[in-house]
């Protein structure tokens, strides 16, 4: 490939007081890539996201976004460069309406002194309406986000992340707590985002991972175990041993 990578992790290590949550992780994502990250509980998947968005700072190693190091930037500046993340436990703003959640996310100029107007710019409003439609919450527009069902919260947060127009979206377990039907809808939603954004999806659910059918990275005990297509990963004995085998047991 001759396109420059959008995101590069170079030998990233995260050490929590002696416990290495990530060891020497190197990873590269192209623009408009769809990447799936899987791994057993505690593998370090969420920590990897945390490190990219600046919630956790790497002990060593570098993270480059569009060839610029972002490891030392304040969190909100990393987002402004174009990375936004959906949290594992839905992080919607509970006492704001669904629409307000989207409008807060869609703010283009985030300077606080521009906040003293009562209505958002028309372009932002339009974008929020559009996303409301995409995530299928049009009839929940004025509902307080805190009273949405779990799955609806997940969609709203995906919508919020999309509304920021970030080039790279990190989606941490977007289908947690969803039934098969909603999971399929979520997969369709994510696939519709690829092309406009690069997307990194973390998930446990193999049927979901197969539906996404993206290039897959397996993380195990803070290290990259394998990378490959879903079918390659499926067929890999080492992955089977640490992850898929266990997942099957869980299901059984």
Ligand X SMILES: Nc1ncnc2c1ncn2[C@@H]1O[C@H](COP(=O)(O)OP(=O)(O)OP(=O)(O)O)[C@@H](O)[C@H]1O
Is residue 144 part of the contact set for another protein (CB under 8 A)? yes
For position 129 contacting another protein by CB under 8 A, the verdict is: no
The contact set with Mg ion (CB under 5 A) reads: 46, 88
Smallest distance, Å, CB 40 to ligand X? 7
Burial of 81 (0-12, 13-18, 19+ CB in 10 A): middle
The answer to the question of residue 141 lying near another protein (CB under 8 A) is no
- Residue 46 touching ligand X (CB under 6 A): yes
The CB-of-150 to ligand X minimum distance in angstroms stands at 16
- Least distance in Å: CB of 45 to ligand X? 3
User: Which neighbouring-strand residues pair with 223?
Assistant: 220
Note whether 159 and 192 are within 8 A (CB): no
Among residues 56, 93, 191, 247, which is the contact residue for another protein, using CB under 8 A? 93
Kindly write down the DSSP assignment for every residue of 17-77, as one continuous string: TTEEEEEEEEEEE-TT-EEEEE-STTSSHHHHHHHHHTSS--SEEEEEETTEE-TTS-HHH
- Taking residues 34 to 53 in sequence order and writing x for each that binds another protein by CB under 8 A, - otherwise, the string is -------------------x
CB contact at 8 A, 165 and 101: no
Q: Which is nearer to another protein, 120 or 214 (CB)?
A: 120
Task: Answer whether 92's CB lies under 8 Å from 154's CB.
Answer: no
Residue 217 CB-density burial (10 A; 0-12 exposed, 13-18 middle, 19+ buried): buried
Compute φ and ψ for 25, nearest 5 degrees: -85, 125
Per CB under 6 A, the list member of 23, 28, 59, 88 interacting with ligand X is 88
Q: Is 21 in the site for ligand X (CB under 6 A)?
A: yes
Task: Please state the closest distance from residue 88 (CB atom) to ligand X, in A.
Answer: 6
CA distance readout (Å), 119 to 114, 115, 122, 124, 133: 11, 9, 8, 10, 20
Provide CB contacts within 8 A for 193, sequence distance 6+: 162, 169, 199
Cβ proximity to ligand X, 23 vs 125, nearer residue: 23
Find the binder of ligand X among 2, 3, 41, 109 (CB under 6 A): 41
Closer to another protein by Cβ: residue 110 or 248: 110
Binding stretches for another protein (CB under 8 A): 53, 55, 74-76, 79-80, 84-85, 87, 91-96, 100, 103-105, 107, 110, 112-113, 115-118, 120, 144, 160, 164
Q: Where do contacts with ligand X occur on this chain (CB under 6 A)?
A: 16, 19, 21, 39, 41-47, 88
């Amino acid at each position: 490939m001759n396109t420059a990578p959008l995101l590069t992790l170079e030998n990233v290590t995260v050490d929590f007081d002696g416990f290495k949550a990530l060891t020497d992780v190197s990873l590269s994502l192209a623009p408009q890539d769809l990447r799936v990250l899987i791994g057993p509980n505690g593998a370090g998947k969420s920590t990897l996201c945390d490190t990219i968005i600046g919630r956790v700072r790497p002990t060593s190693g570098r993270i480059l976004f569009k060839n610029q190091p972002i490891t030392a930037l304040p969190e909100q500046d990393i987002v402004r460069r174009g990375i936004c993340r959906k949290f594992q436990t839905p992080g919607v703003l509970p006492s704001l309406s669904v629409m307000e959640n989207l409008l807060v996310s869609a703010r283009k100029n985030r300077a606080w002194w521009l906040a003293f107007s009562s209505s958002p710019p028309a372009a932002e409003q339009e974008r929020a309406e559009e996303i409301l439609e995409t995530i299928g919450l049009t009839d929940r527009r004025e509902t307080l986000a805190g009273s949405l069902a779990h799955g609806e919260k997940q969609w709203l947060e995906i919508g919020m992340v999309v509304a920021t127009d970030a080039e790279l979206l990190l989606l941490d377990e977007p289908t947690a707590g969803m039934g098969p039907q909603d999971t399929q809808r979520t997969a369709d939603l994510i696939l519709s985002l690829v092309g406009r954004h690069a997307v990194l999806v973390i998930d446990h659910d193999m049927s979901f991972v197969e539906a996404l059918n993206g290039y897959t990275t397996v993380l195990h005990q803070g290290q990259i175990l394998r990378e490959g297509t879903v079918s390659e990963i499926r067929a890999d004995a080492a992955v089977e041993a640490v992850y898929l085998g266990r997942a099957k047991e869980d299901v059984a």
